[in-house]
Amino acid sequence: MSGLRPQALVLDFGGVVTRTLFETHALTEQALGLEPGTLDWRGPFDPASDALWRSMQADEISERDYWKTRTREVGRLVGEDWQDMSTFVQRARGADPQAVVRPEAERAIRIAHTAGIKLAILSNELDLFYGKSFRERLPLLALFETIVDATYTKILKPDTRAYAIVGEALQLPLNACVFVDDQKRNVDGAVAAGMPTVHFDVARPAQSYAEALGHFGLTLS
């Protein structure tokens, strides 16, 4: 970082700000009227039992391909033909977006905002997966300076142009922006773009947010 003090915190959305769909299987089963334990794919929480997840991690399929397959599978379980991820998310998570926000995320975001740190979201599929109305019903997002969503830009992480877009939106050099993502390929893309990074561990969210805030001399309290 050449001694430059970070000035912005750039977060991925799904998995970083919100809990993953892997973590909320019980809520999904309840919402959809499925028997407990019906959804047995666990992604990063149990890669050995999720061959499709391993294929994604090996770059054999994209993250979008992974969720397209899961969306269709779950739709079939309820006797419907689901073609888009937003149907899955909205049916699984109901009308209360706040219920799936990580408490650690809310705390860290508010700490950073209070400290004068600029906040940004850099997502590959925020509105594609969650639907346009989701962000409007999540007051926390009002604290963010900018939201860059590849649903519209069509430039997906880890393409270095995706990170450049968020730097331009923040009017900051990328080495002044700390990037946080749960996918290693996206973290690697940010490193290539010149950003300080945190590889978010979905199993240890408090630890990851503490690491992110540490770049700014802040603590998760």
**What is the tens place of the pLDDT at every residue in 71-120?**
999 999 999 999 988 899 889 876 678 888 999 999 999 999 999 999 99
Among 97, 125, 147, where does a domain finish?
Answer: 97
Number of other residues whose CB lies within 10 A of the CB of residue 159:
18
Note whether residue 39 is domain-resident: yes
pLDDT of residue 1: 41
State residue 133's pLDDT score. 84
From the number of C-beta atoms within 10 Å of its C-beta (0-12, 13-18, 19+), residue 200 rates as buried
**Domain shared by 131 and 186, yes or no:** yes
What per-residue confidence (pLDDT) applies to 86?
86
120 and 201 fall within a common domain: yes
Residue 58 has pLDDT above 50, yes or no: yes
Q: Is the pLDDT of residue 3 over 60?
A: no
Examine the domain organization and report whether 140 and 165 are in the same domain.
yes
What's the confidence (pLDDT) of residue 97? Answer: 80
Q: How many domains does the chain have?
A: 2
Looking at residue 94, its pLDDT comes to 66
| Predicted confidence (pLDDT) per residue in 5-54, tens digit | 899 999 999 999 999 999 999 889 999 999 999 999 999 999 999 999 99
Residue 221 lies in a domain: no
Burial of residue 79 (CB within 10 Å: 0-12, 13-18, 19+) is exposed
Whether residue 180 sits in one domain with residue 134: yes
The mean per-residue pLDDT over the stretch 129-137 comes to 85
Degrees, nearest 5: CA angle 113-118-121:
100
Q: Do 192 and 87 fall into the same domain?
A: no
Q: Which residue has the higher pLDDT, 170 or 133?
A: 170
Judged against a pLDDT cut of 80, whether residue 2 lies above it is answered with: no
pLDDT of residue 130: 85
- pLDDT tens digits for 59-69? 999 888 999 99
CATH number at residue 184: 3.40.50.1000
Tell me, yes or no, whether 76 and 128 share the same domain: no
Same domain, 110 and 203: yes
Segments forming the whole domain that contains residue 140: 8-19+101-214
Pairing of strands 118-123, 8-11: parallel
Q: Is residue 219 part of a domain?
A: no
112 and 191 co-located in one domain: yes
Three-state secondary structure call for residue 81: coil
Single out the residue in 33, 68, 97 at which a domain terminates: 97
| Domain closes at, from 77, 97, 117 | 97
